[in-house]
Chain A
Amino acid sequence: MIYARGLVKRFGEFTAVDGIDLDVAPGEAFGFLGPNGAGKSSTMRMIGCVSTPSGGELRILGKDPVRDGPAIRARLGVCPQTDNLDPDLHVFENLTTYARYFGIPRAEARRRATELLEFVQLTEKATSMVEPLSGGMKRRLSIARAMVNEPDLVLLDEPTTGLDPQARHLVWERLFRLKQRGVTLVLTTHYMDEAEQLCDRLVVMDGGKIVAEGSPRHLIDTYSTREVVELRFGDEAPSSYVDKLAGIGERLDPLPDRLLLYSADGDAAVSELHRRGFTPSSVLVRRSTLEDVFLILTGRTLVD
């Protein structure tokens, strides 16, 4: 579906995407994970054929995005990072009008709009204007709009950023249903839980480069330990404990407010801690996540 080798995007002096290689197979849910400014959105815009690559090779659905932009876009569904729904149209017309841009006949457009509103659970809002909708509803409408041409490949740029937890779960659930239908999904996110929930495979991006690639499980197994212990100490800065705790677990990472202790067996590490006479003000043993992978790979947290 997507094939890229040495893909580069420059804006003047600034290099947003710095030579990345990608292969996305049909039916896959593929994720770009990284903090803001990692080059995810620029990559997405190149895949969406609205931005011309500055260098490297890119093929979308086997075609050249520069030459066959309109033909490729006809088979893509795009859900942008910030909703650009049409405020002058009501919900139903947002879908039918959009369908017309793809040359879909009027009657067929109406049939699909009805079906898609059902799918994103907005049927009751069909004649509402866009403005009064909640953030989650708008996002679901954007997803429905991206589906109106029955695309082979759906691009979702940060599909749940800015939504409350309940709205996020609803969006995830709908996207999961799409995946089950065999639609190829490509999404960017800076939420680890989102990547873990939705992606079969993902790349971690930082500073325009791909720093790791694999399934979520694979990435955790490769780069992190099975469990992580979060320690807080009341008195001193976490960094001052790094030397004192040396030898416990496999790795220690001091953050401004807490200390992360990586270990295959968290409880064993905590017992060792107590045996040495340390009394942290709080102790939390949890499973390792992609957040930890990112921290290990880049030395930085994802969400500032």
Chain B
Amino acid sequence: MVTAILANRLVASPSRIGAVINRNVGALRSGPSYWLVLVSGFFEPVLYLFSIGIGVGQLIPSLTLGDRVMSYAQFVAPAMLAVSAMSGALAETTFNFFFKFKYVKTYEGVLATPVRPMEIALGELLWATIRGSLYTGGFLVVMIAMGLTTVGWAIVAFPATMLVGLAFGAVGMAVSTLIRGWQDFDLMFAGQFAMFLFSGTFSPVQDYPLGVEIVIGITPLYHAVELVRGITTGALSLGMLGNVAYLVAMGGLGVWLANRRMTKVLCT
């Protein structure tokens, strides 16, 4: 009996998760502006790669990271790759999710059907990951074309960027269920931007004072960048398993919290 209830609570139906994703595909087809915003999101990290990675990179002869020597563009590109996975996924699970959660009450309608909060959370998260992966797939093609990584490493890096999207998407969704209003997004935006600038993205974290380096080591984008950079530069290390573990834990925690909060807010 107890196990039956538990099983009933925990099992998520793939077809219902698929239906949640299907809704977003439909939204993409209906609204022209959604398309445009979605596509334009791809260009931001690419522009940063060209400006800072290539433009400023021309002023930097080369960069030594541990015992590896690489061009500055090679150093910045994987960071921008991780950033595009992060921002692609976050765009879905923060602004879009919050809007549907709080303002247009989309999920209240969905919960009147057999779909459960956990299925909404997983559906939205998978969709966010798909969006992030579209960006990273495109970005990897740009990197290969510019000789910043090889085809082989790019194929390995792609699933890693999916993990990055999943982890950020999940945490973004959990945060969105806690947020009171748009003004809180400013804070989140600030946090996201600070991570973007200081997570070993534009210069190695080893340059920072030890205290700062430790703080950065706690933040998620750092782990994402380390993981992705290790792969695209072909320098695998055991420490990357730690990065993977961090991101997996982050994703799991995010989904758990998002499900709890949605059940609490929408099913009382």
Binding site for B on A (CB under 8 A): 11, 48, 50-52, 67, 69-71, 73-74, 76, 78, 80, 82, 84-90, 93, 96-98, 100-103, 129, 145, 149
Contact = CB atoms under 8 A, between A and B. Distances in A.
B16 A88 contact: no
A93 B30 contact: yes
Contacts, number: 83
Given A85-B109, A102-B114, A67 B8 contact: yes
A101 B19 contact: yes
Contacts of A93: 26, 29-30
B113 interface: yes
Given A97-B22, A97-B26, A101-B19, 8 more contacts: A48-B112, A73-B112, A80-B108, A86-B109, A93-B29, A97-B23, A98-B113, A129-B31
Give the 3 A-B CB pairs with smallest separation, nearest first. A88-B27, A78-B112, A101-B113
B257 to A, nearest CB: 20
Interface in B102-156: 104-106, 108-116
Instruction: Decide if the interface of chain B is mainly helix, strand, loop or mixed.
Output: helix
A226 to B, nearest CB: 41
Interface string B1-20: 00001001000010110111
Nearest to A146: B112
B106 A84 contact: yes
25 contacts: A11-B268, A50-B108, A50-B112, A51-B267, A52-B268, A69-B116, A70-B114, A70-B115, A71-B114, A73-B114, A84-B104, A84-B109, A86-B23, A86-B109, A88-B31, A97-B19, A97-B22, A97-B26, A98-B113, A100-B23, A101-B19, A101-B114, A102-B113, A129-B31, A149-B113
B109 A87 contact: no
Contact of B105 (A48, A82, A90, A149): A82
B218 interface: no
B34 interface: yes
Which of B8, B18, B34, B112: most chain A Cβ within 10 A?
B112
Interface residues of B, number: 31
Contact of B34 (A48, A88, A90): A88
B115 A101 contact: yes
Contact of A87 (B104, B113, B114, B116): B104
Contact of B267 (A50, A70, A78, A101): A50
B192 to A, nearest CB: 24
Contacts of B105: 82, 84
B266 interface: yes
A48 B110 CA distance: 12
A11 to B, nearest CB: 7
Contact of B109 (A67, A80, A88): A80
B114 A74 contact: yes
A100 B114 contact: no
B116 A129 contact: no
Nearest to B20: A101
Nearest to A85: B109
Contacts of A98: 109, 113
Given A50-B266, A101-B19, A86 B104 contact: yes
B111 A100 contact: no
B30 A88 contact: yes
B17 to A, nearest CB: 10
Contacts of A52: 267-268
B30 A103 contact: no
Given A50-B111, A70-B114, A80-B112, A86 B267 contact: no
